Amino acid sequence: MPTTITENLISWASDLEDGARAQALRTSRLPILAGPVALMADAHFGMGATIGSVVATRNAIVPAAVGVDIGCGMIAAETNLVAGDLPDDLGKLHGLLRDRIPAGIGQGHARGEGTEPPALRELGLPAGSASELSSRQKAKIAAQFGSLGSGNHFVEVCLDEGDRVWLVLHSGSRGIGNELASAHIKAARLVAGEEGQVLEDRDLAWLSEGRPEFDAYIADMLWSQAYAWANREQMMDVALAALRKVVHKALTVTRINCHHNYAARETHRGEEVWVTRKGAIRAGGGDLGVIPGSMGAASFIVKGAGNPLSYESCSHGAGRKMGRNEARKQFTGHSLKEAMGDRTWDDRMASKLVDEHPGAYKDIRQVMADQADLVEVVHELRQVLNLKGT
């Protein structure tokens, strides 16, 4: 059950650092809110707004609350395989995934004109900024479609409690989503100055319905969310094809694709509002979702309980308990190798992935316990293979 911090801020997080609490309190005092800000069980300090926060706003939206990786989220595919179908050595599969799914900052595919995947051609260009996109940005849209990115983005092979094989993937709208979001966040600050918005944090600047800046942002945001969704689908297709190269009988049983950095028009408490989930997934009654732990911890397939107090939302993962710089000081490549145990991964990159050390994240089991009234666990997944970029 949640804790009431103020009448405009409730929290499911049993572990909430002071910085995140203060940041969320600033958001909770916005005059455009349509209800209390809800902090999820993995809430922690973020750029712009608290990661793991759900914000309902009336006739307005805060671009920085959505964040710069618009549409970031998870996709998971349950297969017909069991652990015994996998080869003893997963090195070949790891190599195929690494070769076919570009991973890392700025990495993408070398694509010539007319070679875009059909899903990308269907998306077109972001309507809000289409006339202003540079040739470099258009090339980035094509090149980075079907690529992973860096940080906590990953591809994993997992086993559930019945030893069924799953593929799990985390990624978003890549460089183009970041650039579009950054431009609109800057525009919102300019609008805030024109309108005389009283802000405790300039990143809480909002755009109101009826302004052309609002329409442009919504168009680009929805496009970025669609790009991120299709990007995950594209990579999952590639990952499943790689799995079939190693185990020829691999087939998909279930696919789950969900955003955890996004905004949508929804009805809550009898009112149509904009719901922004930054580091949170929709958990309406019966909704299936994916909640990952760190690269050395369990992940979960969940079913939403539809709790109205959280605007039918739940956490998006374990949530960081320390920043990347602090993690680099606290941990070593050697300790990361120890934490990864016998999983198949590129341990040659251990020193570059120290900021993703499991110790830098909150305890995913505590996070799941804290939100028992928001979701039901359907499957618990354990990783046997992990792929990340740097």
Q: Which residues are tagged catalytic?
A: 316
Alpha carbon 360 to chain centroid, angstroms: 17
Q: How far is CA 78 from the centre of its chain?
A: 19
CA 350 from chain centre, in angstroms, equals 23
d(CA 143, CA 149): 12
DSSP 18-60: HHHHHHHHHHHT-TTBSS-EEEEEEEE--SSS-EEEEEEESSE
Looking only at the bridges linking them, the beta strands covering 37-44 and 9-11 are: parallel
Residue type at position 310: S
Residue 132 buriedness (CB in 10 A; 0-12 / 13-18 / 19+): exposed
CA atoms within 13 A on the CB side of 359: 16
Instruction: Cite the beta strand spans of the chain per DSSP E.
Output: 3-6, 9-11, 37-44, 51-57, 60-61, 73-82, 154-159, 164-171, 207-208, 252-259, 261-268, 271-278, 280-282, 288-291, 299-304, 313-315, 375-388
The token pair at 330 is 């606290």
CB 38 within 8 A of CB 132: no
State the sign of the Cα–Cα–Cα–Cα dihedral 211, 216, 219, 221.
negative
Measured distance CA(321)–CA(297) in Å, rounded? 14
Q: What is the Cα–Cα distance from 235 to 216, expressed in whole angstroms?
A: 28
From residue 93, give the alpha-carbon distance in Å to each of 189, 232, 346.
47, 19, 12
